[in-house]
Chains A and B, each alone.
Chain A
Amino acid sequence: MNRYFRELSVVGALVVVLVAMAIFAPAFFQPQPLLSLVTREAPTLVVACGMALVIISRQIDISVGSIFSVVSVCAGLLAARGWPLALVLPAAAGIGALLGVVNGILVAGLRLPSIVVTLATMVTLRQGLNLVRQGEFVNMPDAVQWFGLPQTNGQWLLVGAALALLVLLGVAMRHVSAGRFVYAVGTDAEAARLAGIRPQLVTLLVFVFLGALTGCAAMMNIVQSPQVQPLSGMGLELKVIAAIVVGGVAISGGRGNLWGAFAGLLLLACVAPALTHLHVEAYWEKAIQGGIILLAVVADGVRSRKGRR
């Protein structure tokens, strides 16, 4: 119980919000709009899974929003050229992974601080994309939407895929040695090295993995509408990192898990539609999200001070 207190408190907050919505605005739970809203968050969850690994290994990647945009546009253009989706999907994951390799080599190979490296790649990729596209949308053939499935099936497929990834990774992080290596490197890279783990390799791989997942997430996003906006994914990094921090993953590495990150994501994603349903002015949205993040950070701070005593 105590061990998962942090995660459970987020789940508790989420339950409180949902119960409040059930009482004050039951229309929130209409199945069709709710499924649509949940589907819109599926790509975010996929990126969050990858980001959690990076943060647990004591790194950070703030270029995911830009990677997401670049892959979205590339995949959109390939789909518009008539590539079958069975090829576009691996291409998207591949481009994402390749951009992850760049980040990973700069961080792990040259031992540069990841926040600076990914800040640089974030800006470079974003501006490069602006230069090439000048904001112009990519129009795709109708068959791309929902992978050609009926809308509801497509939505369930995306949600199911994101949840399956979460469960697989969540279990693997605890029960597969590669997952435990990530924790070990994030806790103490030197100790991990002495134990026979190669910290730089682990670091490289988590960046590549995050890149590949971001590519998949971009694909999961562009099939939800017939057009790609080159700006899509702007601010994604903040959304994802916030969810992870709220979910109890320590920004200093080594601690936390994917279940917490998942709960944090749901809690933050609830805020905007909940306010719309409660007819509260939109000004509150970012303030409340900020408050939740602050509360989580303070809770972690208090806990780690107690831990040291």
Chain B
Amino acid sequence: MKSLLRLALAAGLLLTGTLGASAAASSKLVVAFLPKSKGNAYFISCKAGAEKAAKELGVELLFDGPTDSNAAKQNEIVENWITLGVDVIAVAAENKEGISTALRKAQKAGIKVVTYDADSMPDSRSFFVNQATPEGIGHALMDDAARLLNGEGEFAIITASLTAANQREWQKHIEARLKEKYPKMKIVAVRPCDDLKDKAQSEATALMSANPNLKLIMAICSPGVPGAAEAVKQAGKTGKVKVIGLGLPNENKRYVHEGVTDTVILWNTGDLGYLTIYAGVALAKGELKPGAKSFKAGTLGTFAIAGDHILLGKPFAFNKGNIDQFNF
């Protein structure tokens, strides 16, 4: 009876376009991978790494998610996976509290749960694969600015808003790193762009005319990076005023290739998916237990674990040489 139900469910899932669901009945471990939204290029690039890991480990990978970022739909998919009896569920939570009830239910059913990209409540999963710490991001940005300016000169920061918690956190770590390692560098201004590319462009234009010695603009919100780059390009200061920032490859490709933007900092999304699958499978096999201090994930090597966060480690720098390999 139960296997009939499974078969029916599997058939249903196949009809709705989910791949490999029938594998739930086979002996292979089944890992279900839930993005915030399955059409989003960012998560598709995570999935590429997840697929690679699944192939190496010989496990079956299920990939499904809402077509838009829909918290209720995420719950529905998790419920389906519980009924289906998968072994591992890996989730990027759209709503931290919202998904947690379903995940607790999955744990009760003996399914191992890990989160990646965006965490759920700590008691509803074993580990969170943390893609970047504020300290890691702050240091990566500051170190890159120092590398480009040889540790000397004025630069300005474009932030999303002066009050946003994450932006303030990053800025704090940038300033700390500056104080600690680069005494000859100076932040001459911090301007908010309200997360608008257009406003970032205006701000960067004014920053350059107000600060003739400005050597670099660092944008710590993703729309700020192409906004600043366009301003630098229009001012004819390509190369004289460098642009770096925290952003997405697709929004910055043209400026990186034109030599306006030097580096875009983020994390390697493929690695994030890869590490998540390795962690989930190790958990299911009993190789990874709560309290572990480090974890080895296939060809990527060993990762540190802080509490119940598996750290992806240093942010990834996209530049002229590698940016075309990423599509999100």
Name A's B-contacting residues (CB within 8 A). Answer: 25, 27-28, 30, 32-34, 36-37, 40, 131, 134, 136-137, 139, 151, 221, 224-227, 229, 231-232, 234-235, 272-273, 276-277, 279, 281-283, 285
B206 touches A279 (CB 8 A): no
Q: Say whether A232 contacts B198, CB under 8 Å.
A: yes
Residues of A near B227 (CB, < 8 A) are 225
**Contact yes or no, B196 A234, CB < 8 A:** yes
How far in angstroms is the closest Cβ of chain A from B186? Answer: 12
Within 184-230 of B, Cβ neighbours of A (below 8 Å) are at 188-192, 194-198, 201-203, 205-210, 212, 223, 226-227, 230
Q: Give complex CA distance A131, B230 in Å.
A: 27
B143 sits at the interface (CB 8 A): no
Contacts of B188 in A (CB 8 A): 279
Our pick among A28, A32, A229, A282 for the contact of B191 (Cβ within 8 Å) is: A282
Is A33 in contact with B206, judged by CB distance below 8 angstroms? yes
Q: A131-B68, A226-B254 are in contact. Are A282 and B192 (CB under 8 A)?
A: yes
Give the docked Cα–Cα distance between A134 and B39 (Å).
9
Q: Is the CB of B197 within 8 A of A273?
A: no
Given A27-B210, A33-B208, A36-B231 in contact, is the A276-B201 Cβ separation under 8 Å? Answer: no
Determine the distance from Cα of A225 to Cα of B198 in the docked complex, in whole angstroms.
9
- Determine which of A30, A134, A279 lies in contact with B37 in the assembled complex, contact meaning CB atoms within 8 Å: A134
Give Cα A279–Cα B214 distance, bound, in whole angstroms: 13
The answer to whether A231 and B162 have CB atoms under 8 Å apart is no
Determine if B18 is an interface residue (Cβ-Cβ < 8 Å). Answer: no
Name the B residues within 8 Å of A139 (CB-CB): 250, 254
CB neighbours (8 Å) of B254 from chain A are 139, 226-227
- Whether B195 contacts A282 by the Cβ 8 Å rule is no
Interface set of B (CB-CB < 8 Å, partner A): 37, 39-41, 68-69, 162, 188-192, 194-198, 201-203, 205-210, 212, 223, 226-227, 230-231, 234-236, 250-251, 254
Closest to A131 in B: B68
**Cα distance A30–B208 when bound, in Å?**
11
Question: In the complex the two chains form, is A276's CB within 8 Å of B250's CB?
Answer: no
* Interchain CB contact under 8 A, A273 and B206: yes
Which one, A28, A272, A281, contacts B202 given CB within 8 A?
A272
What residue in chain B is nearest A134 (Cβ atoms)? B40
Report the bound CA distance from A285 to B189 in whole Å. Answer: 13
Please pick, from B37, B69, B205, the residue contacting A37 in the complex, using a CB distance under 8 A: B205
Q: Which residue of B lies closest to A234 (CB)?
A: B196
Q: Are B251 and A37 in contact, CB atoms less than 8 angstroms apart?
A: no
Shortest beta-carbon distance, A217 to chain B, in Å? Answer: 12
Contact B196 A276 (CB under 8 A): no
Q: Is the CB of A136 within 8 A of B41?
A: yes
A222 to B1 alpha-carbon distance, docked (Å): 60
- Distance (Å) between the CB of B162 and the closest chain A CB? 6
Query: Which are the 3 A-B pairs with shortest beta-carbon distances?
Result: A33-B209, A273-B206, A276-B206
9 contacts between A and B (CB under 8 A): A37-B206, A134-B39, A151-B234, A224-B230, A229-B196, A231-B195, A234-B194, A277-B210, A282-B191
Given A25-B210, A36-B205, A137-B251: A232 in contact with B196 (beta carbons within 8 A): yes
Apart from A227-B254, A272-B191: 11 A-B pairs, beta carbons within 8 A: A34-B209, A36-B205, A134-B37, A224-B198, A224-B201, A225-B227, A226-B254, A232-B198, A272-B203, A279-B210, A282-B189
Contact present for A225 and B202 (CB under 8 Å): no
Q: Give the chain A neighbours of B236 by CB distance below 8 A.
A: 32
Contact B202 A273 (CB under 8 A): yes
Q: Which A residues touch B231, using CB under 8 A? A: 36
The smallest beta-carbon distance between B306 and chain A, in angstroms, is: 30
Name A137's closest neighbour in chain B (CB-CB). B251
**CB nearest neighbor in B for A278:** B210
Is A272 within 8 A of B206, CB to CB?
A: yes
Task: Name the residue among B194, B205, B236, B250 with the largest chain A CB count within 10 angstroms.
Answer: B205
Nearest chain A CB to B289 CB, angstrom units: 37
Closest residue of chain B to A33 (Cβ to Cβ) is B209
Residues of B within 8 A of A30 (CB): 209
- B209: which of A28, A221, A231, A234 is its contact (CB, 8 Å)? A28
* Most interface-central of B198, B201, B202, B230 (chain A CB within 10 A): B198
CB within 8 Å for A276 and B234 given contacts A40-B201, A134-B69, A232-B198? no
Within 8 Å by CB of A33, from B39, B205, B230, lies B205
Q: Give CA–CA (A141, B236) in the complex, Å.
A: 20
A34–B209 Cα gap in the complex (Å)?
A: 9
Instruction: Name the B residues within 8 Å of A131 (CB-CB).
Output: 68
How far apart are the CA atoms of A97 and B230 in the complex, in Å? Answer: 30
Q: Find out whether the CB atom of A277 lies under 8 angstroms from the CB atom of B194.
A: no
Residue ID in chain B nearest A151 by CB atoms: B234
A272: chain B residues at CB < 8 Å are 191, 202-203, 206
- Tell me whether A37 and B202 are in contact (CB under 8 A): yes
Residues of B within 8 A of A227 (CB): 197, 226, 251, 254
**A40 with B209, Cβ < 8 A, contacts A279-B189, A282-B191 known:** no
Interfacial chain B residues near A277, Cβ < 8 Å? 206, 209-210
A229 touches B40 (CB 8 A): no
A137 to B40, CA, bound (A): 12
> Is the pair B197, A27 in contact by a Cβ cutoff of 8 Å?
no
On chain A, the residues within 8 Å of B202 by CB distance are 37, 40, 272-273
Chain A: CB-nearest residue to B159: A282
Cα–Cα, bound, A33→B206 (Å): 7
Q: Using Cβ atoms and an 8 Å threshold, which residues of chain A touch B201?
A: 40, 224-225
B69 nearest in chain A by CB position: A134
Contact of B194 among A136, A137, A151, A235 (CB under 8 A): A235
Contact B207 A232 (CB under 8 A): no
